[in-house]
Amino acid sequence: MAIRKETGAYNRSGTGQEGVVSVIERLDHLVLTVHDLEAACQFYERALGMQVVTVENGGRALQVGQQQIRLHLAERGAEPKARFSQPGVAALCLIAAVPLEQVMENVTACGVEIEEGPVYRSGATGPIRSIYVRDPAQNLIEVAEMAESVPAQATDPVPVDAVVKEISQVLKQREPGLIGEGQEGVFGILLPLVKMDDGKLGVLFEKRASTMRRQANEICFPGGRAEEGDESKWATARRETSEELGVPLQNIHYVGELDRLIGPGHAAVYPFVGYVEGIADMKPNPEEVGEVFVIPLEKLAAAEPSRYTSSLVTQPEKDFPYHLIPGGKRYPWRTGTVEHLFYELDGRVIWGLTARVLAHFLELLSRESRTRR
């Protein structure tokens, strides 16, 4: 509610017109009614990483910045209370402090089902990207991250047809991937940021062991093929990095995700950026890693890779069904080229997929730096 200064008349529009001042400074707390206080505390603490605090009369609350969410038992909530105070009637939207993918990974690891999302919505201050979960009392909890914009397709109304709605729901419940991925496997790799002795950031690289069957002695980032027990592509990259470098999983922290790409043989590659602690105590696996080294991030950002190209030519097999395509053997196959990047630093050569991921990461940093100027 707002009051018009010059007349004292109420303004209920909430539009912030000139001459109108809000009588409310901020939200102090709101109340959630729950069946089981301990179950609720465990849910919000473990699944959403919120701080549980004790308030007056031994009550429990969730601290969110300068605000609180008070948890009241349905049978004996504090007085006075809402006229219809019961579990499962509240719906909250919380803005996450970490990327939404990290929230999804955490709630899934805690056995919490994501009811819907990620989906785009309108938040209080702009577009948001959200998931929906329910707490033990069945209150609806929306967890969101701010979005630069809402894709047009995210706001298109779904047609009334029941089959179309069902198809829409199937598509919303899956994470988009790459068509054809899996022919040679799905891989998660990590671009590891580390703290150097001088306190500055560096990027850690591996040199593959000389005994490796593929790409022996080549420089790469840690990573590998997804396994059935991996909860996400990030979990794959994190696990593989831990196994290859010999560092605990808890020392590998999510920083962000880079663009996905198709590798050799249609392998789907999901690159992430992570921060790795405790590298002084790491014990690289000698069966996979021949050497580990770090290059300062500043030095990489200043480096300019050499660029070369190779041709792509389609060569059908002998039994190719030419009779099924227009033009038969004279069909005008498209040709193209592939660009190869080569970084030559400190007597080492970084090329191939590793160089492409590195260049993409450095370009993102450079673009952000230019934007801030």
The predicted model gives 295-317 an average pLDDT of 94
pLDDT at 300: 97
The 10s digit of each residue's pLDDT in 39-60 is 889 999 998 989 999 887 778 8
- Could you tell me which residues come within 8 angstroms of residue 368 by beta carbon, excluding any fewer than 6 positions away? none
Q: Which long-range contacts (CB under 8 A, 24 or more apart) does 42-47 make?
A: 43/110, 43/112, 43/135, 43/136, 44/69, 44/135, 46/110, 47/106, 47/107, 47/110, 47/112, 47/133
The 10s digit of each residue's pLDDT in 241-270 is 999 999 999 999 999 899 988 877 678 899
pLDDT winner (highest mean) among 3-7, 177-181, 200-204 = 200-204
267 alpha carbon, distance to own chain's centre: 21
How far apart (Å, rounded) are the C-alpha atoms in residues 113 and 90?
18
306 touches 296 (CB < 8 A)? no
Q: How many other C-beta atoms lie within 10 A of the C-beta of residue 174?
A: 7
How far apart (Å, rounded) are the C-alpha atoms in residues 231 and 227?
9
- Could you tell me which residues come within 8 angstroms of residue 22 by beta carbon, excluding any fewer than 6 positions away? 1, 2
The predicted model gives 206-212 an average pLDDT of 93
Amino acid, single-letter form, for residue 155: T
Question: Nearest 5°: CA angle at 277, between 273 and 279?
Answer: 105
Q: How many other C-beta atoms lie within 10 A of the C-beta of residue 237?
A: 30
- 321-to-64, 312, 325 alpha-carbon distances in Å: 64, 21, 8
- Which position has the token pair 């450079």? 366
pLDDT at 21: 65
Name the DSSP class of 265: G
Name the DSSP class of 183: S
The residue with greater pLDDT, 166 or 242, is 242
- Which helix (H) or strand (E) is 342 found in, with range? strand 336-345
How far apart (Å, rounded) are the C-alpha atoms in residues 42 and 350?
47
- Could you tell me which residues come within 8 angstroms of residue 202 by beta carbon, excluding any fewer than 6 positions away? 193, 194, 195, 196, 294, 295, 296, 297
Of 125-129, 194-198, 199-203, 343-347, least confident by mean pLDDT is 125-129
Question: Which residues are the active-site residues?
Answer: 142
Nearest C-alpha neighbor of 346 from the set 232, 247, 207, 236: 207
How far apart (Å, rounded) are the C-alpha atoms in residues 89 and 34?
10
pTM of the model: 0.58
pLDDT at 19: 57
